[in-house]
Each structure stands twice: as C-alpha cells, then as structure tokens.
Amino acid sequence: MVTLVAGCSGTAGEEPPPAQNLDPVTATRDWLDAVATGDVARIGELVEPTGLVVVAAVENNVSSDQLVTMLEMGLSDQLATEYWTRFRDEFNRFQGSPIGSLTVGDEEPVSQPDGFTSVILSSESSSGRVILRNTDAGWQVDFAATVGPALIGPLGEYLESAVAGDNVAAISIAYRDWVVPALEAALATSPDNSALEFETEYIRQLAASG
C-alpha cells in the first residue's frame, strides 16, 4: 500500500469548497481528511469514480456482472462506507499510526500522460505519493494510479477473465479510458519499474482487444 497522508481539517462548521475549485495539494488534503473522518459524501467528490470501482472490484473479486452495474451506478453509500472504513483501518494498522498523523507535501507534476499530477506524502519513517487526475469535476484523486501498481497483477488477471465473457465491452472501455492512463501516470513516477511497464502494456493490449 502506498503511504497516504491526512492534512489539516477546515474550521468546524465551514462548508468545504467544491472539488473543481481545489488545487491538487488541497484536494489531496481534503480527501485524506475525509477518509480519516469517514465523510463518504466528500470522498465521492474528490475521487475519480471509474478507477475506484475497478480497483474495488478487483480487490473484492466481484463478478463481471457486478462490476458493470458498479460502473453504471457507482458504489452504493453502504459499499463506499464499508470500503473506506476498511481502507482507513488497514492503513492505520499498516502504518502503525493514524492516517491523520502524516504530512502532505508539495505537488510534483507527472510528465505523461497529460492531465495528471502527484502530491508527495511523508511520515517519520516513509514517504509516497498520491496521483491526481484533472477531470470535469476538477482535480480528483486517481485511485487506480495511486494504488494500481500494488494491484497490477490482479488488474491484468481480472481483465483477462472478462475478455472471455459477455461484459467485455463495458469493462474494456473502463480499462482503456481510465485504468490504462492511470497506470501510465504511475509508471511515469516510477520509470525504472520494469514489471509495472510490462504489465501496463499487457493490460493496454487486452483492453484494446476487447
């Protein structure tokens, strides 16, 4: 799991600004604060939804029929609450400290593809980054780019199994338009990761064949 960071909370009672008005550092801070406090509605504004749905489906080994429904409808409030609660709790156990104790650093633009950037995260013992994508909703955390490298094998295996099924078109489009660019952005931040490069190319070819 990548190292994540919670930033400073806003003043109590203030309405958070719309996601489309946020710079990448502030969007990252707001997202991690929302994860720490369990504000699922706010998380939904700050996270790119298609990549999140694919990652959640792969992590939980849902059927391709379920994934297509999730791509159309998004995560339900119940599923989103369960997912982000588990994510926060697993992170806290993994890191050995609460997500709110970490630090959000500076923005570092991603060289390719266009429309991505990253924000550096750090703790006393480790560092990492969140990758964001510039969407119609503004800068959103791209979950597929941020955690995708850790799931690169299962992401490919899931798509490979879907290519033989009835739902190949919808799933391949989600991969082609959202997951592959996300993985390319992750690769740009770690250009020496040959395994990620190989698997990303394999997923790109699978998505194109669908």
Please provide the average confidence, as pLDDT, over all residues in the chain: 88
- 52-80 pLDDT, tens digit per residue, is 999 999 999 999 999 999 999 999 999 99
Helix axes 49-60, 152-163, angle to 10 degrees: 90
- 98-139 pLDDT, tens digit per residue, is 777 778 999 999 999 999 999 999 877 778 899 999 999 999
Distances in Å between the Cα of 88 and the Cα atoms of 3, 32, 183, 190 are 12, 9, 23, 25
Distances in Å between the Cα of 104 and the Cα atoms of 39, 46, 86, 119, 184 are 19, 16, 22, 7, 23
- 93-103 pLDDT, tens digit per residue, is 887 777 777 78
User: Which H/E stretch holds residue 181?
Assistant: helix 180-189
Residues ≥6 apart with Cβ < 8 Å to 111: 188
* Sequence spans of domains, the chain: 19-209
